[in-house]
Chain A
Amino acid sequence: MEYFTQLFSPDEIWAIEAWINDWFFVFALALFFLECLRYAFKKQFTLNFLGDSVANFATLTLFILILALVGATYAGVFLYAYDNFRFVELPINGWTILICIILADLAYYWEHRFLHMNGFGWATHTVHHSSPHFNISVAYRHGPMDWFFPLFFYLPLVFLGFHPFVIFLAEIVVQVYQTLLHTETIKKLPRPIEAIFNTPSHHRVHHATNRQYLDKNYAGILIIWDRMFGTFAKEEEPVTYGVYPSINSVNPIKVFFSGYMKLFSRLWHAPSWRYRFNLLVKSPTWAWQQEQKNK
């Protein structure tokens, strides 16, 4: 219990965060290497798999370059809001961190659901979904605006009195957990775990193009959010990964900008301003249905 009430300084939280960030990537690379061995053993290690994985890490590089440009502003917004608009100042200890992780996980659920529900958000998130494979490297397949949307969903935590560094730590914990879900190696985990936590099985469903799996399982760490909010689907039939229409490319630049290129093309060819507005705010399924009608 004492561990939960022991105080941390913001600098210590920052150090923990940096440590997780650095070492988890090494750990993830090691896991990816093991996955490659598994695919090789099963004779499923193809040239497309290799190209797709290289593209995934290349999009990560591009994303980090963007983050280097906007990261300070992102952190600055949190720190400014904390200094000027927080309702209370919560102590930085284990309880606060634990509560912040649960709230950040709930925020992640809504952010993720939001990205799937409108054209502007989907244009960046579709990059992550566009791989026809499912392995740890896919977790690092980022779109150009992936940094932007979390701001609006995590910022309210600042007003509740959580220190920005605690929120960033919580964001990283959710991301790290999410990363580990991108694997076909683990089939199903024991029932109580599958009931409460997000698992590789649940997340395979999220990446599926099978009709009954579409727009399901948005959770980060806790699958209970999907169960509570009616967006849960259980993995029953084998999953087909990717997006409609598929991008059929391992070119990192094409992959990285595919979502916004598609969105801009749709906006350019839109018949009216109302249609353009709908392309931005309505779900990608709506855009696809309109195109099918016009064929």
Chain B
Amino acid sequence: MNSIITSFIIVAVLWGGALMQLPEANAIEHKDIKKNIAIEEAKVNKPIANVMAIKDVQNITHISGLQQQIMLKNVDLLWKTFSTMSALNQSLKQQPKKVYVLYDSFSKNYQKANVTIGYDINELTKFDRHYSVNINEFKPLLPAKHFEDGELAKAWDKIDYNRKVNAVLEIHKLDKTGKPQSTQMLVSYK
């Protein structure tokens, strides 16, 4: 019997170790949306990690999804993981209208960033934590229209790296089948 209890303790400790990753790579838990909104409304004026200062409440978008500190060249992997997050996708009220990609907390050489891919929480029935973005703080890099991958990559060259970059935001508008219709790219400086 002691062996079994010891085994459960070992499992709990190791699982705890695995769970410690969750604030970084934001795993989605099912929680009551009303409870979540109440909690998050209370937090809305507090700076959450990697969240822009909030000036105009009307222009704040709350994104929930997947977040990971990652090399920018590996963002494709984050997209793959995002597309297989069945809990998140099952929480969608209907076909999502937009997907947001937020890059912030850049490394000095801009090779690495904190990348968040997610949906507006208004499109979800359930979500765990979310990341608030004040779109008023951003300046456009690319207008909202259809771009090829190469054009999106080139938009990064338009960023003024002499100024300290706070965040880059991609807003992918989706059609009724969930395919990208247009992409808008924005930047915010510190």
Question: Are A6 and B70 also in contact (CB < 8 A) when A91-B27, A103-B11 are?
Answer: yes
Q: Is the CB of B18 within 8 A of A161?
A: yes
For B84, give its contact among A10, A110, A230 (CB under 8 Å). Answer: A10
Q: How many residues of A contact B (CB 8 A)?
A: 31
Alpha-carbon gap, A90 to B84, bound state (A): 12
B99 CB-CB contact with A under 8 Å:
no
- Asked if residues B6 and A229 are in contact (CB atoms below 8 Å), the reply is yes
Closest to B84 in A: A10
Decide if A96 touches B21 in the complex (CB within 8 Å): yes
The answer on a CB contact under 8 Å between B7 and A110 is yes
Contact (Cβ within 8 A) A7 B77: yes
The answer to whether B74 touches A95 (Cβ under 8 A) is: no
A110 to B7, CA, bound (A): 9
| Contact flags B98-111 to A (C-beta < 8 A → 1, else 0) | 00000000000000
Closest chain-B Cβ to A80's Cβ sits at a distance in Å of 11
A206 to B80, CA, bound (A): 43
B161 at the interface (CB under 8 A from A): no
Is B27's CB under 8 angstroms from A161's CB? yes
How many chain B residues sit at the interface, stated as a range, is: 20 to 34
- Least distance between B94 CB and chain A CB atoms (Å): 20
Contact, CB under 8 Å: B14 / A99 = yes
Q: Which of A91, A92, A95, A229 contacts B3 (CB 8 A)?
A: A229
> Who on chain A is nearest to B18 by CB?
A99
A77-102 to B contact mask, C-beta < 8 Å, 1/0: 00000010011111111011001101
Is B85's beta carbon under 8 Å from chain A? Answer: yes
Our pick among B15, B29, B77, B85 for the contact of A6 (Cβ within 8 Å) is B77
- Closest chain A residue to B76, Cβ basis: A9
**CB atoms of A6 and B24 under 8 A apart:** no
B7–A88 CB distance below 8 A: no
Whether the Cβ atoms of A7 and B68 lie closer than 8 Å is: yes
Assembly CA distance A11 to B87 (angstroms):
18
Judge whether B71 is part of the interface by a CB distance below 8 angstroms. Answer: yes
Question: Which one, A2, A88, A100, contacts B27 given CB within 8 A?
Answer: A88
A8 contacts partner chain B, Cβ-Cβ < 8 Å? yes
Q: Which residues of B contact A161 (CB under 8 A)?
A: 18, 27
- Please state if B3 and A228 are interface contacts (CB–CB under 8 Å): yes
Residue numbers in B under 8 Å from A5 (CB-CB): 21, 24-25, 68-70
Residues of A within 8 Å of B80, CB to CB, are 7, 9, 11
| Max chain B Cβ within 10 angstroms of own Cβ: one of A83, A99, A230 | A99
Residue of B nearest to A109 (CB): B7
CB of B86 within 8 A of chain A? Answer: yes
The yes or no answer to A233 lying at the interface (CB within 8 A) is no
The answer to the question of B10 belonging to the interface, with a C-beta cut-off of 8 Å to chain A, is yes
